[in-house]
Each structure stands twice: as C-alpha cells, then as structure tokens.
Structure 1
Amino acid sequence: MSKQTTSSTGLKTSTLWLMAAACGLCAGANYFNQPLIHSIQNYFMVSSAQAQLTVTFAQVSYALGLLLLVPLGDLLRKQRFIPLLMTLAAIGLLISGFAQNIYMLWFGTAITGLFTIAAQVLIPLSAALVEPRKTGAVIGFLMSGLFIGILLATSLAGLLSNLFAWNTVYLLSAVILLLLTACLIPRLPHTPTIRLNYFAMFGSMLDLIKSEKRLIIRAGVGAFAFASMSCIFSTMALLLSQEPFMLTDFYIGLVGLTGVVGAVFAQYAGKLADRGYGRLLTVSGMSILIIGWITMYFSQWYLIAFLIGFTIVNLSISMLHITNMNIIYQLRDDAKSRLNSIYMTLYFIGAASGSALGIFAWNHGGWMMTCATGLTLALFSSAFATIDLLQYRKTLTDSGK
C-alpha cells in the first residue's frame, strides 16, 4: 500500500490503520470478561454461574447486533453510523467499568456487545472504497487488526487485572475507543445509501440467501471452520491448567498469543486472494486445519504440540475467513453490509455451537473426544469447501474460461 492512499478513492493509509485499530478494539472488547470471571465473582460476591453469565450476555448481544444492526450499514450514512456505534460501545465499556453490582455489569456488557459490531460495518465500508483488485488486501489488513485485538484482549485483561483491578481494562479501552472515534470522524468518506425501510431490509436479506447460493456455501465453510477453532478456545484453559502443565491464567493467555501468526498472515492471504489464488487458499486452509487437529491430539502430553497446533489452526482460519469475505463482497456491490450480516451471523452461530460442543466433548471424553469433535467439524467445513470448488469449476467450464 502506498503511503498516501490505498486506492483511487483516496482511502489514506493512516485512515486504514485507524480502522484496523478500531476493529481490533471493538472485537476484543467482547473477550475482556473471559479471564476475569473469577475476579468478577469475588468482587460482586456472586455465584460462579452468575459471573459466567457475563460471557453469555456478551455473546448474545453481539449476535443480535450482527443480525439487527449490521445491515443498517447499507441504509444509513456510514460516516455517521460508525462513530455512533463506537461511541455507544464506549459507553457500554464505561458502564461495565463503573459497575456497582452484577446487574450493572450485565447491562454494560450487553450494550458493549450490541454496538461493537462497528467493526462489521467498517470492513464492508473499506471493501466498497477500493478497486476490486485490492479488496482482499484491504479486508486482510483490517481482519489482521481484528484477530490481533481478539488475541490480545484476554492477555491484556488478565495482566491489567493483576497489576491494578479487574475493571481497569474496561475504563482504559473506553477512553481509547472514544479517541479513535474522534480521529475517525473527519476521515470517514461519504458513501451512497439505498432507499429501503428497516423491515423491507430483512426481506431483501432473505432474497439474498435465496439468490446468492455461494454466500451460504462459503458461510458453511467459515461457520464449521470457526466452530472447530472454538472447540479449542472453550477447552484450552481446562487442558493447560491441569497436569502435566499446571499453567496459570496469565500464562495460558500468553500461550494463546501464538495465534498472532495467523492474524498477521491475514493481510497476506487477502493479497493472494486478490491475485486469484482463492482456490489455492481454500484447499491449503482446509488441509492445514486438519493437520492442526492431528497435531492438537498430542498436546495432551506435549506443550510444544499445543503451540504448533494452535498456531496452525489459527493460520487456517485466517486463510479461509479472508478468502470467504473476498468472495462474498464481490457478489453484490449494493449489498455489502447485508451480505456481511448474513455471513457473520452464521459464522457466529458456528463459533457459539463449537464452544458448546467443545465443552460437551471435554466433559464426556476429555481431550481425545474434544479433538475428535474439532476434527469432525473441520471435515464438515471441508465438505462445504469441496462443494464450492466443484460448483465454481463448473461455472468456469460453462462460461468457457
């Protein structure tokens, strides 16, 4: 990318960096509570189940935001809509940081989760502002910021909690998010909107599901792949905190940072997708995901196996997700936010289902069943990828290319 712009539309590199930082902070804000559950339980003197509900509120509210708010990116002026979302998310973080009881924390968490979907409006905006041949590179860059934000969130939350207090990360991130909002407001370009009322918008989304078959197939690739990844997220602390590892929460968070490799690679995956290597990225991503789960099986005895397997699985998720987004954003230029809403809602359903399946597998068969579950989900993702590749090849053959 040049030092001045990323495309002929005038999207400056400095603006792109701010957008990537905003994506990372918005995405990471929903993961702050995960390493803080024990501290939250002790601070508010509530049961473990009540403290764990904080995670549930974050997940459910984010899912609602994906479904109900992200499509508005096609209807409203994004230069106003995005700052509004970020400001409301910061307010949610402040409510959480100043919470005097568990109910106030739940409310703040729900507000934060609902409006941190700003990242999912920023990404299709960036795709609309650049030439088609640069779509993957820009998406990959922003997704790198988003992935890194998620990976850093738990580690920073745990570190700041140990150094200061459990709510420090909420207050600090709220201030940073407001500063990012102030910096972005004069930089966000004016974009066209479509004439459609809110309820008709959902009808148009159903039409997209019916007409754009590739959207659903690629969503299947992403949803099952991320469900596979979520099996690790939901059980890694259980595995690494027991013998023979006996790692503390802070060190478990550091172990998770090995996933940064995949996050950084996202921008390179986007550039490869722009050059026409989408099929290669899909095949490579599926192959690496399966290899990663085979490696993860040995992590019950060897920490190095977990580090390698976790890195490989994260790498595969980056490759597949960036390729998916590069494909779906090119399906309809006038419906990028709605396409993103459909894709990300299914993607998030996959993540939540994978987490639940991972916990169920751990409770009924330990790490061996967890690995079998993760591998099975990876194979389902491969099946969707195979269907897509075969149909795409048939389309090229029919068109004579």
Structure 2
Amino acid sequence: MPKLNNYVLYLMSVSAGLVVANLYYNQPLLHLISVTFKVSESAVSYVALSTQLGYAFGLLFVIPLGDKISNHKILKFDFALMVLALLAAGFSTSLFLLILSSFFIGFTSAIPQLFVPMAAQLSDDKGRGRAIGIVMSGLLIGILGSRIISGFVGELYGWRVMYFAAALMMIALYILLILKLPKISPDYKGSYGNLMSSLWYYFKTEPSLRLATLRGALAFAGLSAFWTTLVFLMEDNFGYGSSATGAFGVFAIFGALAATVVGKLNNRFDKAKIIIVSVIILMGSWVIFMLSGNSIIGLILGVVFVDLGLQALHITNQNIIFSKNRDARNRVNTIYMVGFFIGGALGTAFGALAWEHYKWMGVTLLGLSLTVVMAVVQVVFRKKTI
C-alpha cells in the first residue's frame, strides 16, 4: 500500500476542490440563465437541482467501484464524460438541454468522494482525522470558491464561458492526477451486483451510519436552500448581481479553513459532543439569517457560522463512519454522501418554493426547522451516534 505523504494529500485536497466546484458554478448564474431562456426563478432552480441529483446518482453507482476497480481506471472514464458534459452545458440552446447536461456534470463530479476514503485508507489511526480534514478543506473551499469565480465570470463574460473554462481545467487536472496520484487496486473480487447489494447490508446493520447520513442530509438541505435563494435575495433586496452573490463565498471559506482543526479535534474529543456543538452553531446561523434579510453584515456573519457548523458536523460524521468497515470505506461513504446530496437536492427544491411563496422568511424558517429536527434526532439517539 503506498504511503500517504503531504504532496499526495494536498494533491487530493486541491483536486477535490476543483472537481466539486463543477456542481456549484451554476448557483450564482441562475438569474443570468433565467434571463437567457426567459423562464421563472423557480424553473431555473431545476438546473441546480438536476446537478445535485446527478451527483447523488454518481455517488451511488460510481463511488462503490472504488472498493473493486483501480482508481486510475475510474478516473479515465469519469473525466472523459465530465468534460463532454461541461461542454454540452456551455453550448445548451434550451433550459431542458442545460438541465440534462447538468445532471451528467453532477454525475461525473462525484469523483472527489474517492479521495476522502483514500486519504483515510492511506493514513494511520492517529493521522486519519487530519487527513480527512485536509481533503475536506479542499473540497469545501472548492464549493465556496466556485461561487466566487462563477459570479464574476458570469457577470463579465456570460454564464456559458464558465462551463467552457471548467472543461479546460478538468483536462489539465486529469493529466496531473494520472501522472502523480498513487494507483490503488482493491482486493474485492465479487461482482458489481454483489458490491451494490452490500450497500443495503451496511445501511441496515450500522445505526451510526444511518444517523450520520440523516444528520448530513438535514444540514446540507438547509445550506442548499440558502445558497440557491441568496442570488434572488441579493437581486430583490439589495439590487446586486451574480458577482456579489458569489463574493459571499469568500466569507464562507473562513469556516472551511477550520477543517484541519476539526479533524484534529475528532482524534481528541468525544464526537457526540462535537456534533451537539455543530448543531448549536447551525441553529444560531439560521437565527442570524432570519434577522438579516436587509443586512449585508448579518448575512456575512451567518455565512461564516453556517459553513463552520456544517464543516464540523460533516468531518465528524465521516470520521465516525470510516472508523469501522475498513475494507468498505468507499461503500459506507457512498451511503453517507448519497443521503447528504439527496438532502441538498431537496433543500434546493423546497428552498426555491419557500422563496417563491414566502420570500426570505420562508427560506430561513425552512433552514431553522431542519436544524431543530436534527437536534431532536441527535438527543433522542445520542447513544447510537458512534
């Protein structure tokens, strides 16, 4: 088994961020896209929804292969389809074609979830939390940075240019990964059908995995509702465009940079207590959002806290599920992340509906309600957390 050195670790971190960014370029661009195709805000939200659903399907059907097939072979086919999907999105002549292309962008952009269990697999027990934290830092900074980049690119050059630029970046990244990423050949010898069937076995027999999945889904549903509707709030209440919306990612990066610290804390403190603190931070952030519909400073403060809370919760969830089933880390990560992004997709859909009918107050009440449900679940099932 290759040894995990800092070069490989940070390569996986940066790669995770660059690939996962493909999922979120569209969010600050939704208003521009709605103008191009002359559709409503709720209709254009299906671009974001389709991307997240595609990601969930990619997690479900591609990532388990990490326990069966060489990582280099998976990268070869995945990146080819990813580049084609990004180009198709840039050339889309209708909202339907963009939604369809977005699904395949999401499907192929699940590949960073191979890096997280890979980092856990190549680390020893003492360094596992740090390794997960570093990869997750890159992933989350990619999520947040993508909004900054696409907001400015969209406003200056149009939304299509962002997709073309992303395709070029993915070609360069693929070449680097094939040259530098260690090749891992798993030992699993069963069929693909048996591999997929085992997902249900792990979900059924691991209560800590089920709870981690539910917590992640609820938290990410709230965050997705926020980011999907923020662009509409900025247009309606402040008169700002996509670049201002994307700029909020700068402040969210402060929360993402805490990933390494949170990873180290997971090796030293009770994980159930870290989860409770994370839920409290998330709850507080939604209260701040609720009171900040007309305050840029309040929104900035809320962004810092909501991403910090999600970051702490997410890394702790993954540390819990990776501590068991060492030969099935890709599969348990699949279960967790499928739930996580189904939550995100539902949050996007319900967030758009909340905005359409009740504007910002409806969005913030939705986010707060989801966090309260998470708190109740954690208190009731605390003994099964780990």
TM superposition score normalised by structure 2: 0.91
Once residues 228 and 87 of structure 2 are traced to their aligned partners in structure 1, the CA distance between those partners, rounded to angstroms, is 27
DSSP-derived class of the 2:326 partner: coil
Do the aligned residues in 2 keep the contact of 1:15 with 1:184 (CA within 8 Å)?
Answer: no
Q: 2:322 aligns with which of 329, 333, 336?
A: 329
Q: 1:352 to 1:139 in 2, by over 3 A?
A: same
Call closer, same or farther: CA 1:94–1:255 in 2, change over 3 Å.
Answer: same
Moved more, 329-338 or 46-55: 46-55
In the superposition, relative to structure 1, how do residues 9 and 385 fare at CA in structure 2: closer, same or farther (>3 Å)? Answer: farther
SS in 2 for 1:242: helix
1:164–1:183 CA distance, 2 compared to 1 (3 A)? same
In the superposition, the TM-score normalised over structure 1's length comes to 0.88
CA deviation after TM superposition for structure 1 residue 172, in Å: 2.0
- Could you tell me how far 1:356 is from its partner in structure 2? 2.6
Deviation digits for residues 356-384 of structure 1, max 9, x if unmatched?
33233333433333322211110111123
- Is the Cα–Cα contact under 8 Å of residues 223 and 381 in structure 1 kept in the other structure? no
Residue deviations 1:24-80 (CA, integer Å, cap 9, x gap)? 12211022223334444555x564577554334322222211111111111111232
Out of 348, 353, 365, the residue aligned to residue 355 of structure 1 is 348
Q: Which has the higher contact order (CA 8 A, sep 6+)?
A: 2
1:227 matched residue in structure 2: 221
Which residue of the other structure, out of 159, 172, 183, is the alignment partner of 1:189? 183
Partner of 1:4: none
User: Match of 2:307, as an amino acid?
Assistant: N
What is aligned with 1:180? 173
Post-superposition offset of 1:104: 5.2
Instruction: Spell out, residue by residue over 1:288-339, the C-alpha distance to the aligned partner (whole angstroms, 9 max, x if none).
Output: 1111122222102422111111211110000000000011011200111110
Residue in structure 1 matching 2:64, options 50, 65, 71: 71
Tell me whether 1:217 sits opposite 2:179 in the alignment. Answer: no
Q: How does 1:1-400 map to 2 (within 5 A)?
A: 9-40=2-33, 45=37, 47-48=39-40, 52-99=45-92, 105-186=98-179, 187-243=181-237, 245-391=238-384
Distance 1:57 1:330, change over 3 A: same
Larger Rg: 1
How many positions carry a matched residue from both structures? 384
Q: CA RMSD in A?
A: 2.3
**1:102, distance to aligned residue in structure 2 (A):** 5.4
Q: 1:50 and 1:226, CA in 2 relative to 1: closer, same or farther beyond 3 A? A: closer
1:82 touches 1:121 (CA, 8 Å); kept in 2?
no
- Any gaps of 5 or more consecutive residues in structure 1? 1-7, 396-401
> Do the aligned partners of 1:87 and 1:181 also contact (CA within 8 Å) in 2?
no
- Tell me: CA distance 1:161–1:290, structure 2 relative to 1, closer, same or farther (3 Å): closer
Aligned partner of residue 190 in structure 2, secondary structure = coil
Partner amino acid, structure 2, of 1:196: G
Note if contact 2:293-2:360 (Cα within 8 Å) is conserved in structure 1.
yes
Distance (whole Å) between structure 1 residues aligned to residue 189 and residue 65 of structure 2: 11
Query: Percent identity between the aligned chains?
Result: 30
